[in-house]
């Protein structure tokens, strides 16, 4: 397009000074191929790239854009906060207000501390669990992603799944050895790992519903089983709701479970994404007695120059206050209509697939080997990523921007109204035929 710098030119320029041209790996289109779109603005359900092309967005900043991009009331709250100063290094009134919103929605959370990223939240949760129990070992599930700290990259989802990496270079063996990985939804494997390490496991960390290997909800009763086993063995349960929190439902995936009759109270829970409304806010919360182990009240150290940043907290607070029943009803309607239409289009084109849900979250796995359902990472890895790549590019050509990886959830927002969904649906038949190959 004349007059515009191209995505290709911007990517070349970025690659010269930024590894891979991106500040987070999945953005590079590495698994679907092609040139990432360099976004210059976004509004509602749409993003616009540097070439001036507008796309319907199903990435939603990987979750934070619950209300849609640049919601006017959120932007106004940010502008007001910014005009009062960007950061003080002192407590501000709004921090407790934001934590009160979280406490009000999530029964397991009595107290929480604000940090800036989901990675920090899970890192702190693990340190707290170790401090509380005096034990070192951590259990995680294969295919779950909890951020990029040393102990959590073994058999992780998200970018590691996208690029088929077993873990990361640069993690000391002594640290990796503190993490035990078991298959998700596998009761016997979890029992076996506790039996093999009696009195040594500080915590089990689980995504409340897995959504970084595609969406894989816990089997009925599984989360209750995990909680009971942890508590019987003197370990803590950490529920990572960074992705599911305030998105899968108003009260996160804990609410989805409760509505299904499972009242699971994790000892600690982590949040991010939605609670910052697009700015860097995350949180670790849970039982007051465990949270009070944090400095300055307790011996577990954690800190942050920009923790509880006033501009970021203003964005999060405005987002959560606007996220009412109507917002969650819209999210449910949009994800229900879209996931049904995708399934129908793929059926029509005879593309084997399965659509999996967790509350308002969903993703689509392509391929005959997974069409019977995906309960765990080993199965997720057997999906047909090439078919997804063809589907992705056909949708992109039609003006719909999907996650550039077969291992990610598709994110709708409250701005995905019926007209937007209809436009996505219109693009599906051709993309389904492209996936068929």
Q: What is the DSSP letter of 356?
A: E
**What is d(CA 374, CA 384) in angstroms, rounded to the nearest whole number?**
13
> What residues from 52 to 91 belong to the interface with ligand PMP (CB under 6 A)?
62
- Compare residues 64 and 375 and give the one whose CB is closer to ligand PMP: 64
Helix orientation angle between 93-105 and 310-322, rounded to the nearest 10 degrees: 40
Widest CA span of the chain, in angstroms? Answer: 67
Interacting stretch for ligand PMP, rule CB under 6 A, among 53-61, 65-73, 144-152, 300-308?
A: 144-152
Indicate if 240 belongs to the active site.
yes
> Which runs of consecutive H residues, i.e. helices, occur in 134-179?
159-162, 173-176
3-state helix, strand, coil in the chain (%, to 5): 40, 15, 40
Q: Rule CB under 6 A: is residue 7 a binding residue for ligand PMP?
A: no
Which residue number, 45 or 123, has a Cβ lying nearer to ligand PMP?
Answer: 123
Would you say 194 or 222 has its CB closer to ligand PMP? 222
Nearer to ligand PMP, 254 or 432 (CB): 254
CA–CA–CA angle 86, 411, 416 (5° rounding): 90
Query: Is residue 146 part of the contact set for ligand PMP (CB under 6 A)?
Result: yes
Give which of 142, 148, 150, 191 is closest to 170, Cα–Cα: 150
245 binds ligand PMP (CB under 6 A): no
CA distance 148 to 228: 28
Give me the 176-215 binding string for ligand PMP, x by CB under 6 A, dash otherwise: -------------------------------x----x---
Please state the closest distance from residue 117 (CB atom) to ligand PMP, in A: 4
- Residue 69 CB-density burial (10 A; 0-12 exposed, 13-18 middle, 19+ buried): buried
> Any contact of residue 272 with ligand PMP (CB under 6 A)?
yes
DSSP letter, residue 352? -
Q: Is 427 in the site for ligand PMP (CB under 6 A)?
A: no
Tell me the C-alpha to C-alpha distance, in Å, between residue 164 and each of 33, 144, 159, 381, 428. 15, 14, 8, 8, 27
Q: Is 111 a catalytic residue?
A: no
Indicate whether 129 belongs to the interface with ligand PMP (CB under 6 A).
Answer: no
For ligand PMP, the binding residue among 147, 214, 218, 316 (CB under 6 A) is 147
Q: Select which of 57, 240, 376, 384 is catalytic.
A: 240
Residue 218 as a binder of ligand PMP (CB under 6 A): the answer is no
Selected from 117, 133, 179, 309, the binder of ligand PMP by CB under 6 A is: 117
103 backbone dihedrals φ, ψ, rounded to 5°: -60, -40
Return the residue matching tokens 């909680």. 227
Compare residues 117 and 363 and give the one whose CB is closer to ligand PMP: 117
Q: Indicate which single residue of 7, 31, 92, 122 sits in contact with ligand PMP (rule: CB under 6 A).
A: 122
Question: Which among 57, 111, 140, 145 is annotated as catalytic?
Answer: 145
Angstrom distance (rounded) from CA 6 to CA 78: 31
Q: What is the 8-class DSSP label of residue 219?
A: P
Which of 184, 204, 150, 129 lies closest to 380, judged by CA?
184
Q: Is residue 240 a contact point for ligand PMP (CB under 6 A)?
A: yes
Report which residue's Cβ sits closest to ligand PMP.
118
Q: What is the Cα Rg of the chain in Å?
A: 21
Among 92, 158, 185, 401, binds ligand PMP (CB under 6 A): 158
Helix (H, G, I), strand (E, B) or coil at 404: coil
- Provide the minimum distance between the beta carbon of 242 and ligand PMP in the complex, in angstroms, as a whole number: 3
Query: Among 61, 92, 119, 302, which residue interacts with ligand PMP (rule: CB under 6 A)?
Result: 119
Query: Helix, strand or coil for residue 388?
Result: helix
The least distance separating ligand PMP from the CB of residue 434, rounded to whole angstroms, comes to 28
Contacts with ligand PMP by CB under 6 A lie at 62, 117-119, 122, 145-147, 158, 207, 212, 240, 242-243, 272, 282
Provide the annotated active-site residues. Answer: 145, 240, 273
């Amino acid at each position: 397009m004349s007059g515009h710098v191209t995505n290709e030119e911007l990517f070349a320029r970025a690659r010269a000074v930024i590894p891979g041209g991106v500040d987070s790996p999945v953005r590079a289109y590495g698994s679907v191929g092609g040139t990432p779109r360099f976004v210059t603005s976004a509004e509602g359900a749409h993003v616009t790239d540097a070439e001036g092309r507008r796309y319907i967005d199903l990435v939603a900043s990987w979750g934070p854009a619950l209300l849609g991009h640049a919601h006017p009331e959120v932007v106004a709250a940010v502008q007001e906060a910014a005009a009062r100063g960007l950061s003080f290094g002192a407590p501000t009134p709004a921090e407790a207000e934001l934590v009160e919103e979280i406490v009000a929605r999530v029964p397991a959370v009595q107290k929480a501390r604000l940090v800036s990223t989901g990675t920090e939240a899970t890192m702190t949760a693990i340190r707290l669990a170790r401090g509380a129990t005096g034990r070192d070992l951590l259990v995680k599930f294969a295919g779950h992603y909890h951020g990029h700290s040393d102990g959590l990259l073994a058999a992780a989802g998200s970018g590691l799944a996208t690029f088929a990496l077993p873990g990361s270079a640069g993690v000391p063996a002594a640290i990796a050895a503190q993490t035990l990985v078991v298959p998700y939804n596998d009761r016997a494997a979890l029992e076996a790992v506790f039996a093999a390490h009696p009195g040594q496991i500080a915590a089990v960390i689980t995504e409340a519903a897995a959504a970084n290997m595609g969406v894989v909800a816990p089997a009925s009763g599984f989360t209750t089983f995990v909680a009971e086993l942890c508590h019987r063995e003197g370990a803590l349960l950490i529920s990572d709701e960074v992705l599911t929190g305030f998105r899968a439902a108003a009260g996160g995936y804990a609410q989805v479970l409760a509505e299904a009759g499972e009242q699971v109270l994790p000892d600690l829970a982590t949040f991010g994404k939605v609670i910052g409304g697009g700015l860097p806010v995350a949180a670790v919360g849970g039982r007051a007695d465990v949270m009070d182990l944090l400095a300055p009240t307790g011996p577990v150290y954690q800190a942050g120059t920009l923790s509880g940043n006033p501009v970021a907290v203003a964005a999060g607070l405005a987002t959560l206050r606007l996220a009412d029943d109507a917002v969650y009803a819209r999210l449910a309607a949009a994800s229900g209509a879209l996931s049904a239409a995708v399934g129908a289009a793929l059926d029509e084109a005879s593309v084997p697939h399965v659509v999996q849900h967790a509350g308002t979250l969903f993703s689509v796995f392509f391929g005959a080997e997974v069409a019977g359902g995906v309960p765990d990472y080993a199965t997720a890895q057997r999906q047909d990523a090439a078919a997804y790549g063809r589907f992705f590019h056909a949708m992109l050509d039609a003006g719909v921007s999907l996650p550039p990886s077969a291992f990610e959830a598709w994110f709708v927002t409250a701005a995905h109204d019926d007209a937007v969904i209809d436009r996505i649906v219109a693009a599906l038949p051709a993309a389904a035929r492209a996936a068929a190959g």
